Amino acid sequence: MDKIHVIIEELKQRDYKSFDTFYNLTKNQVFYAIVSIIKDHAMAEDIMQDVYMKFLEKIDDFKPGSNPYAYLSTIGRNMAINHYNRRKKEFVSEEFINSIPSEEVEEVNEDIFKILDLLKPMERQIVTLHVINDLKFREIAVIVEKPLGTVLWIYNKAIKKLREKAVDFI
Amino acid sequence: MKKKDLLKLIKTKSEEVNIKDFSQSIIDNAKLLPQREEVIVEPKKRFTLRASMIYSLTLVTAVIAFFVIYQPAVPAITQIEDVNQVVVLSAVSAVSLVTTSDDLLSQDDNISLSLGYFQPDITIDLAQVDDEINDVSRYLEMMEKLLNSDDDFGYQLETSNINGYAYHLSFTTKDLLEQETSYILHFNRQENVEENLFIMQGNIEIGDYIYAISAQGDLDNPQNVQLHLEKDASNYIDMTYSFTENMNQYRIQVTENNILLQAVNLELKYENGQKSVYMNFIEGQSTGSYAFRIAQVNQVNQMRASYYIAGSEVESGEFEISVNQDGEDVTYDITVKPQGQMPYVIERKRGMSESGGAPHRGNSMTSL
């Protein structure tokens, strides 16, 4: 049994002594699963905590041998979508707020977000889950609920687009 | 740019982002999570009620109404006539209860959630209240009658003009649409003074339907009565009434095909001058507690209920229940307002006919 599965078995016994290791092993996957949808660093970090709490709350549902990165990515993605949909319903006030000139505009400094912003939403999610989160296309197809062929097609199209446009970030 | 370089670039840039370390606060919160107990979830029993049992819950309503009619607020050694009255009223009350058709009872496969308030891909986890709504729906018609009828149900006790019966008792219930249902009980009574026991036996009529009913209790204590209403040896309802601390309390057990399907405790009481019915599921799949009251919105009667379900997770909230009549179709609109979550609406077929008493047939679920 590899390290992460050993820790998960400990967590199932409510033994949290290795949780920080687990967190560091998985935080990138959780973060990028979220941020590929909501594109807000601070908000993504907030949602991350909810993702881990949900994971720990339902940890007995995690099947031994499953890919924990895919599992956490799925939780992260679902919670980000829920959050996004809730925000969408606040569009009236959002429009109003956006119409007010902001004195401080937070600039997106991280190159990775600029690179991912070159893609359409589904392209961004699939590239993130495969390249950053190291998930297999078969796992991604389950998460995004699209046929494997569609996922591969979207991925190849996204990579082709990035090969042309991402040169500036080298 | 080569693909290999691009993938390396994405990977490298993603690792440059500083992600805060929340591990300690997550651990702190995780330690507050309740310990999960091992729960064996048994599949819900499915009962296909025969037409003969359609009225079982109607009878329960009648029992309750009967008990309510009696209202033994002043405990006393009663005269024989009073004891008989208790028995009769209890029996009549049982019959006046819920009219529920078998189709209505099978709606739990088809609970329809109106997700108009939600984006369709939002996950909602309200399993417990969704599971319980069907069981609660069985009692809605009973609640209508208990809450909206006159306290004494306008009962009249007379000598029976039917051969074989000594007494005739009639009473009337009223539902949310202000429609009245009439009940007639023909019965005989026997007393055993040595054993301090009375026994009542008879038939109760609701429209074209007739049911056999029996009750017994102590001659000197009409505050405790047991009533048994049976369609056949395998399908019956038992009801126990007691009056304590200004409260009418009922325990109802519904047995179908020799299996105890459900048991509930009901308490009928006045609070701030308003009649309330408290219901607790004590046997069966459901576990919730509910408090029903009548409310008027734009001069239209509706019921409101608060609920509390202590299952795998505690759920609480409110129902707003109104009756919609569209020609022959009469439905309940149940607005479920779970605490801390968005409300949603469920439509349920109402079982009563236009005359208010006989079960509605050919029921079908209408999705919102």
Q: Has residue A53 got a pLDDT over 90?
A: yes
- d(C-alpha B83, C-alpha B314), whole Å: 43
Min Cα–Cα distance to chain A from B129, Å: 20
A62 touches chain B (CB under 8 A): no
Whole-angstrom CA distances from B332 to B104, B237, B303 are 12, 25, 10
Residue A146: predicted pLDDT:
81
pLDDT band at residue B116 under the 50/70/90 scheme:
very low
Q: Has residue A4 got a pLDDT over 80?
A: yes
The average confidence (pLDDT) of chain B is 69
Average pLDDT over residues B75-102: 41
**DSSP code at position B152:** T
Beta carbons of A23 and B13 less than 8 Å apart: no
Q: Has residue B88 got a pLDDT over 80?
A: no
Q: What percent of chain A has pLDDT over 70?
A: 85
pLDDT digits (tens, 9 = 90+) for B216-237: 877 777 667 788 777 666 767 7
Chain B residues with CB-CB distance to A34 below 8 A: none
pLDDT band at residue B61 under the 50/70/90 scheme:
low
Residue B366: predicted pLDDT:
27
> Which span out of A115-129, A143-157, B229-243 was modeled with the highest average pLDDT?
A115-129
- d(C-alpha A108, C-alpha B175), whole Å: 63
Residue B232: predicted pLDDT:
67
- d(C-alpha B61, C-alpha B229), whole Å: 11
Q: B362 in helix, strand or coil?
A: coil
Min Cα–Cα distance to chain A from B3, Å: 7
Q: Has residue A94 got a pLDDT over 80?
A: no
pTM beyond cutoff 0.90:
no
- d(C-alpha B80, C-alpha B327), whole Å: 48
Q: A51 in helix, strand or coil?
A: helix
- d(C-alpha A130, C-alpha A139), whole Å: 9
Domain parsing of chain B, residue ranges: 55-357
Average pLDDT over residues A12-41: 91
pLDDT digits (tens, 9 = 90+) for B151-203: 767 778 888 888 888 888 787 888 888 888 888 888 888 888 888 887 888 88
Residue of A nearest to B13 (CA): A112
Q: Has residue A133 got a pLDDT over 80?
A: yes
CA angle centred on B352, ends B348 and B358, rounded to 5°: 145
Phi–psi pair at B224, nearest 5 degrees: -130, 115
Residue B31: predicted pLDDT:
83
Q: How far apart are the first and last CA of chain B?
A: 54
Q: Has residue B353 got a pLDDT over 50?
A: no
Are the beta carbons of B224 and B216 closer than 8 angstroms?
no
Average pLDDT over residues B318-328: 84
Tally C-beta pairs within 8 A across A and B: 101
The residue type at B239: M
Please tell me the least confidently modeled range out of B2-11, B23-32, B266-275.
Answer: B266-275
Q: A28 in helix, strand or coil?
A: helix
Chain B residues with CB-CB distance to A56 below 8 A: 26, 30, 33
Residue B311: predicted pLDDT:
65
Q: What residues contact B214, with CB distance under 8 A and at least 6 apart?
A: B91, B199, B200, B201, B202, B227, B228, B229
pLDDT band at residue B118 under the 50/70/90 scheme:
very low
Average pLDDT over residues B69-79: 35
Please tell me the least confidently modeled range out of A99-103, B162-166, B328-332.
Answer: A99-103
Are the beta carbons of B67 and B89 closer than 8 angstroms?
yes
Phi–psi pair at B219, nearest 5 degrees: -65, -35
The residue type at A9: E
- d(C-alpha B188, C-alpha B162), whole Å: 11
Full 3-state SS string of B215-234: EEEECCEEEEEEEEEEEECC
Beta carbons of A85 and B123 less than 8 Å apart: no
Residue B60: predicted pLDDT:
54
Q: What residues contact B16, with CB distance under 8 A and at least 6 apart?
A: A110, A111, A112
Beta carbons of B16 and A89 less than 8 Å apart: no
- For A75-93, b/e burial (b = at least 16 CB within 10 A) is bbbbbbbbbbeeeeeeeee
Task: Please tell me the total number of residues recorded for chain B in this structure.
Answer: 368
The neighbour count for residue B6, using CB atoms within 10 Å, is 22
Region for residue B317 given its phi and psi (left: phi exceeds 0; alpha: psi -120 to 50; beta: otherwise): left
A132 closest CB neighbour out of B10, B23, B33: B10
Residue B352: predicted pLDDT:
55
Beta carbons of B29 and A167 less than 8 Å apart: no
A49 closest CB neighbour out of B11, B15, B26: B26
Min Cα–Cα distance to chain A from B312, Å: 12
pLDDT digits (tens, 9 = 90+) for B271-319: 777 888 888 888 777 778 899 999 888 788 899 999 888 766 778 888 8
Task: Please tell me the total number of residues recorded for chain A in this structure.
Answer: 170
Chain B residues with CB-CB distance to A89 below 8 A: 119
The neighbour count for residue B226, using CB atoms within 10 Å, is 14
B14 closest CB neighbour out of A28, A57, A88: A28
Please tell me the least confidently modeled range out of B11-20, B68-77, B112-121, B296-305.
Answer: B112-121
Mutate: best of A72, A112, A156, partner B, most B CBs <10 A: A112
Q: Identify which has the larger pLDDT, B159 or B89.
A: B159
Q: CA nearest B318: which of B291, B300, B286, B294?
A: B291
- d(C-alpha A84, C-alpha B47), whole Å: 42
> Which span out of A20-29, A56-65, B67-76 was modeled with the highest average pLDDT?
A20-29
Secondary element (H or E) of residue A35: helix A19-38
pLDDT digits (tens, 9 = 90+) for B5-16: 899 899 888 888
Min Cα–Cα distance to chain B from A61, Å: 11
Beta carbons of B24 and A20 less than 8 Å apart: yes
The neighbour count for residue A27, using CB atoms within 10 Å, is 20
B5 touches chain A (CB under 8 A): yes
Q: Has residue B42 got a pLDDT over 50?
A: no
A119 touches chain B (CB under 8 A): no
Q: Has residue B79 got a pLDDT over 50?
A: no
Q: What percent of chain B has pLDDT over 90?
A: 2
| The pair of three-digit structure tokens given for residue A105, joined into one six-digit string | 């505009």
Positive or negative torsion for Cα A28, A34, A39, A43: negative
The residue type at B276: S
The interface predicted TM-score (ipTM) is 0.84
- d(C-alpha A111, C-alpha B287), whole Å: 54
Q: B67 in helix, strand or coil?
A: helix
Chain A residues with CB-CB distance to B35 below 8 A: 14
- d(C-alpha B343, C-alpha B211), whole Å: 40
Residue B66: predicted pLDDT:
52
A19 touches chain B (CB under 8 A): yes
B272 touches chain A (CB under 8 A): no
Residue B196: predicted pLDDT:
81
Q: CA nearest B186: which of B158, B209, B216, B217?
A: B158
The average confidence (pLDDT) of chain A is 83
